[in-house]
Structure 1
Amino acid sequence: MVNTVLDKVPAKYRDTALIRLFGLTKVPLLFWLRPKVIELSDKRCSILIPLNRRTKNHLNSMYFGVLACGADAAGGLSAMKHIMQSGKKVSLAFKEFNAKFLKRAEGDVLFNCEQGEEISAFVEKVLASDERQNMPVKIIATCPSIDEHEPVAEFELVLSLKKKS
């Protein structure tokens, strides 16, 4: 019954509810930031975090800690999608985090991860092994209301997965 109802809800609303529920139960800061899933497909994950009183700094641009949360959410949600599709239990963590802040994010920020297919193959590799595996994941952040093509930040996170016994 629940799956029948969920199948009738548009994917972006269902995915937004999923990430917010995850935030509410596991990472309260993520819930507080109110991320919105724009796209979650086998190829791409796009998450929008609004620039508002909760997310801005003293310069009226997005606080760099919020930018870090957005990158974590975009890479993590993409991996969670593929893990959930596998039906197996996998431990997910980020091992490294590198960021380049290119310009001030003075509007809502869109975080894009374009490595969905690579992450899917990586999950399959992890499931075939008993070892922890690592993969670099790239996230590009833009402010679509200002310039949808010019990045405000670039992130590289090392996704670390291990099949649970």
Structure 2
Amino acid sequence: MKFSASNLNKFLFFKLPSAYFCGVRVKQIEDATCVVEVKHRWINQNPFNSMYFAVQAMAAELSTGALVMNHIQNSGKKISMLVANNKSNFSKKATGRITFVCADGLLAAKTIQEAVETGEGQTFWMKSIGTNEKGEQVSEMNFEWSVRTKLS
């Protein structure tokens, strides 16, 4: 699969339907950054009139995971990936359109290259920042990814 926003959104529909139906969409992906958006609406709300934290986590994780998937594909190797840990901080109610940006793609590429060269599993943290339409930060999510080469 060629990594594009359109193809990743198709992937969501078939492989992560809960994220797709909650409105999570990839808007842009490049080597270093990935941008994912989700709009607060009835299907993804919490009882407090804002976006449910798990929907924010789906969008934030996708912004990091899409970069990892992209660099794994670019490596041409069979590599497994898994979220080992995550940390979240919520600083403001998430209402309206929330944009998650991860700019750690080059870190993912470097770590995947290390896994290929050493044959050993590697872990690394990637950060995604969620902001509202006013540019105010509503959440920060960090995901620890584990990658390792698969035996042929």
Q: Give the TM-score of the pair, scaled to structure 1.
A: 0.83
Q: Distance in 1 between matches of 2:95 and 2:15?
A: 29
Aligned partners of 2:127 and 2:141 also within 8 Å:
yes
- Specify the alignment match of 1:129 in structure 2: 118
Which AA in structure 2 matches 1:27? L
Mapped pair 1:63 → 2:49: no
Query: Over the residues paired in the alignment, what is the CA RMSD in angstroms?
Result: 1.8
Q: Give the TM-score of the pair, scaled to structure 2.
A: 0.90
Query: What SS class does the counterpart of residue 43 from structure 2 fall into?
Result: coil
Structure 1 residue 31 displacement after superposition: 2.4
- Specify the alignment match of 2:4 in structure 1: 15
Gaps of 5+ in 1: 7-13
- Specify the alignment match of 1:159 in structure 2: 145
Structure 1 residue 16 displacement after superposition: 3.1
Query: What SS class does the counterpart of residue 54 from structure 1 fall into?
Result: helix
Identity %, equivalent residues: 27
Cα separation, partners in 2 of 1:76 and 1:153, compared to 1, 3 Å: same
Match of 2:97 among 87, 90, 108: 108
Deviations 1:52-74 (CA, angstroms, capped at 9, x unpaired)? 22212222211001011111111
Cα separation, partners in 2 of 1:83 and 1:51, compared to 1, 3 Å: same
Deviations 1:98-155 (CA, angstroms, capped at 9, x unpaired)? 0001010111111110111111111111111222110011111111x2x21x210011
Aligned partners of 1:129 and 1:163 also within 8 Å:
no
Aligned partners of 1:20 and 1:30 also within 8 Å:
no
Mapped pair 1:53 → 2:42: yes
Gaps of 5+ in 2: none
Aligned partners of 1:45 and 1:114 also within 8 Å:
yes
Aligned partners of 1:15 and 1:40 also within 8 Å:
yes
TM superposition outliers: structure 1 runs of 4+ over 3 Å: none
**Which stretch of structure 1 is more off in the superposition, 30-39 or 58-67?**
30-39
